[in-house]
Amino acid sequence: MGDSIRFFEVGPRDGLQNESRVVDPSDRVALIERLVDAGVEDIEIGSFVHPKWVPQMAGTDQVASALEPRPGVRYWGLVPNQRGLQRALDSGLTHVALVMSATESHNQSNLNRSLQDSLRAVEEVSRNALAEGLTIRTYISTVFGCPFEGDVDFDQVLKLGEQLLDFGAEHISLGDTIGAGDPRSVADGCRRAVEAFGADRVALHLHDTRGLALVNAFAAFEVGVRLFDGAVGGMGGCPYAPGAAGNVASEDLLQLLDLLGADLPVSAPSFLPITTWLRDHQGFTVRSRAFEYSLSQEKASS
């Protein structure tokens, strides 16, 4: 892949799912359309989970049905089970994301299943999704630390990754769900994953709990990771992982990768009007260094 980056915007799902208020489906569609207009090609539009568990994701069917196909744009929906997969199919999506955790405790907390039961469920849903001609990406959560079990054995992560790829995932996304990763552990784990599976089959999903997301992204880039997730404005977290802060801000991540000389599908400045819209018209607290810097530059020049 060289220095070419594939970027996944997860704000409309992982960003919004842990914000305190529920955003109307029409405003979620408006957010996604703004992201597409900015040049984003891979967007996770929501989760097909029962609203009893994640109220912020109510109406994902409406969101998916309202989106117009755009050339080169892939809309992804997270499906936690077979029922979620059917809802995604009924909504016309062709790309779905599956998820399981690297630890027993987080699988129980997040999915109410054991690790082995989660693995079997992912295998079944993967098989059914492939039979329908869908493309799959699969998250492995808590790969660099679990809120319940602490350190995670990365050998277990690699074993899970191999199984998930064998189930038919296009790639796996390594989730630092609570931001427990540090540059050394992230570099070591990502290097091992890239060596085992290839750079086109390993994505990185960072949270900024300890303010280390960008330095961890740098460490991952240096060892060959070229697929990255981010959330516009640094929104989000994980409702089933105590202490999880927001995702790494898309504009911060892209700014870093641009400074490293990477070939990007979308530029960091194109996100700034969307971040402004989220703050001024949707009332969100944004957590983006690039956004704050742009505001300071505007004030300095006025």
Q: Hey, which residues are catalytic here? A: 238
Q: Give the helix ranges, DSSP H, for 6-45.
A: 25-38
| DSSP E strands, the chain | 6-9, 42-47, 74-78, 95-101, 135-141, 171-176, 202-206, 227-230
Q: Are strands 171-176 and 6-9 parallel, antiparallel or unpaired?
A: unpaired
**Residue 30 CB neighbour total at 10 angstroms:** 17
CA 94 vs CA 85, 121, 162: distances in Å: 10, 20, 23
Please report, in angstroms and rounded to a whole number, the separation of the first and last CA atoms in the chain.
42
Do 167 and 127 touch, CB atoms closer than 8 A? yes
Do 201 and 172 touch, CB atoms closer than 8 A? yes
Phi, psi (5° rounding) for residue 71?
-55, 130
179-188 as b/e: b if 16+ CB within 10 A: bbbbeebbbe
Residue with structure tokens 């569609």? 29
- Amino acid letter for position 299: K
